[in-house]
Amino acid sequence: MVHHDPAQQTTVARAVELTGVGVHSGADVTLTILPAGADTGIRFVRTDGPAGPAVPAIWQSVAATELCTMLEGTDGRTIGTIEHLMAAFRGLGIDNALVEVDGPELPIMDGSAAAFVEELDLAGTYPLGMRRRMIRVLKPVRVEIGASIGELLPCDMPRFDITIDFPSEVVGRQSMVFDLTPGVFRKELAQARTFGWLHEVEALWKMGFARGSSLENAVAIDGDRVLNEEGTRWPDEFVRHKALDAVGDLALAGRSILGLYRSYKGGHRLNVAMVKALLADSSAYDLVPAPTEVAKAPAREMLLDARV
């Protein structure tokens, strides 16, 4: 990997192509990631059917958060399951790219961001000669949706404090706290897979969803046991995946958030609501050049806390 001035905006150095199955459609889908100029951000384009408009990966484009994070273009066509790729872009510090997709959702790959990270690392990044700016949190912002609670707080690093709590012996209550750097993302989050309960997947099958879901792309739980023969990749893979989702969803702010994101029993709906709440209050944030201590991805690339 070539290292550039970490304060500069980046894009991919060359085109990247991945093919896999759509977790809900069950159909094969190919995505192509192309370089884009400074301040373009991440944009998605459907290439099946008539040429459609590019859809910016920002919270205003979000159409649904129930089963995945889904964007909708001005032509009404949607692009779903974007969160793992968005997490890879944010985790690796890639600011700008055009993503072409030949279907209504991104391929699920193995249920994590690992394949995206591998291909993006092979492609490398290209510096664009323009300084990266970040959204700095100035005061606490809080959202509650039922039992889910989210907060954004001032912090000198992009920090995450994620807690999940399920009535299951396999999952239970798990928490992790980390500063988001490329090293932490690659080592601690990228390979964490999506998970779900067998009875919920069976119900989705009956409704025509999750047709591509399998033990190849999800951790399946039946009662208090994991059905995957290989088990979990970490004892706390479940909270790591929720943290991965949070990184991807918060990237819909359009820029990296300089602050602490704390969530309890969160999910896509809460994550997107937190971005909306922050940016709806102009006194809660400002835009700042990427600070040197963030941009340089400090040597303390480690989990601040991880407990099962």
Decide if 199 is catalytic: no
Q: How far apart are CA 173 and CA 162, in angstroms?
A: 11
95 has binding-site annotation: no
286 has binding-site annotation: no
3 has binding-site annotation: no
What are the DSSP calls for the chain, one per residue?
Answer: -----TTEEEEESS-EEEEEE-TTT--EEEEEEE---TT--EEEEE-SSS----EE-SGGGEEE-SSS-EEE-TTS-EEB--HHHHHHHHHHT--BEEEEESSSB---TTSSSHHHHHHHHHH-EEEEEEE-EEEEE-S-EEEEETTEEEEEE--SS-EEEEEEE-S-TTT-EEEEEEE--HHHIIIIITTPPPEEEHHHHHHHHHTT--TT--TTSSEEEETTEE-STT--SSTTHHHHHHHHHHHHHHGGGSS-EESEEEEES--HHHHHHHHHHHHH-TTSEEEEEPPHHHHT--S--SEEEEE-
CA dihedral over 192, 122, 157, 268, signed as positive or negative: negative
Residue of 3, 4, 24, 268 marked catalytic: 268
Q: Which residues line the annotated binding site?
A: 84, 241, 245
Catalytic positions, please?
268
Q: Which residues are annotated as a binding site for Zn(2+)?
A: 84, 241, 245
